[in-house]
Amino acid sequence: NVSVVLFTADLRLHDHPPLRAALDGSREVVPLFVRDAAVDGAGFAAPNRLAFLADCLADLDAGLRERGGRLVVREGDVVEEVCRTVTEADADEVHMAADVSAYARHREARLRRALEARGRRLLVHDTVTTVVPPGELTPAASDHFAVFTPYFRRWSEQGLRDTFGAPRRVRVPEHVGSGRLPSRADLSGLSPALPAGGETAGRKRLAAWLRSGVHAYEDRHDDLSGDATSRLSPHLHFGTLSPVELVHRARRAGGPGAEAFVRQLAWRDFHRQVLAARQDAASADYRTRHDRWRSERAARDDIEAWREGRTGYPVVDAAMRQLRHEGWMHNRGRLLTASFLTKTLYVDWRVGARHFLDLLVDGDLANNQLNWQWAAGTGTDTRPNRVLNPVAQGRRYDPDGAYVRRWVPELGALAGAAAHEPWKLRGLDRAALDYPDPVVELAEGLDRFRRARDRRT
Minimum distance from residue 260 beta carbon to ligand FAD (Å): 9
Residue type, 64: L
CB of 320 to ligand FAD, least distance (A): 12
Measured from the CB atom, is 70 or 355 closer to ligand FAD? 355
Rounded least distance, CB 450 to ligand FAD, Å: 22
26 in Cβ contact with 173 (< 8 Å):
no
As measured in angstroms, the least distance from the Cβ of 36 to ligand FAD is 19
Q: What is the largest CA-CA distance in the chain?
A: 80
User: Distance between CA 23 and CA 27 in Å, rounded?
Assistant: 7
- Give 128 or 232: the residue with its C-beta nearer to ligand FAD: 232
User: Are β-strands 121-125 and 2-7 bridged in parallel, bridged antiparallel, or unpaired?
Assistant: unpaired
Beta bridge partners of residue 36, listed in sequence order: 76
Q: How far is the CB of 236 from ligand FAD (least distance, A)?
A: 4
Minimal distance, residue 78 CB to ligand FAD, in Å? 22
- The answer to whether 52 touches 197, Cβ cutoff 8 Å, is yes
261 vs 435, beta carbon nearer ligand FAD: 261
Least CB distance to ligand FAD at residue 189 (A): 19
List contacts with ligand FAD (CB under 6 A).
Answer: 221, 229-233, 236-237, 261, 264-265, 267-268, 271, 331, 334-335, 338, 356, 360, 362-364, 367-368, 371-372, 375
Q: Which is nearer to ligand FAD, 118 or 383 (CB)?
A: 383
| Nearer of residues 6 and 250 to ligand FAD, judged by Cβ | 250
Comparing CB distances to ligand FAD, the nearer of 223 and 364 is 364
Q: Which is nearer to ligand FAD, 81 or 245 (CB)?
A: 245
Q: How far is the CB of 373 from ligand FAD (least distance, A)?
A: 9
Q: Is 119 left (phi over 0), alpha (psi -120 to 50) or beta?
A: left
In the complex with ligand FAD, the residue whose CB is nearer, 263 or 448, is 263
What pairs with residue 75 in β-bridges?
A: 35
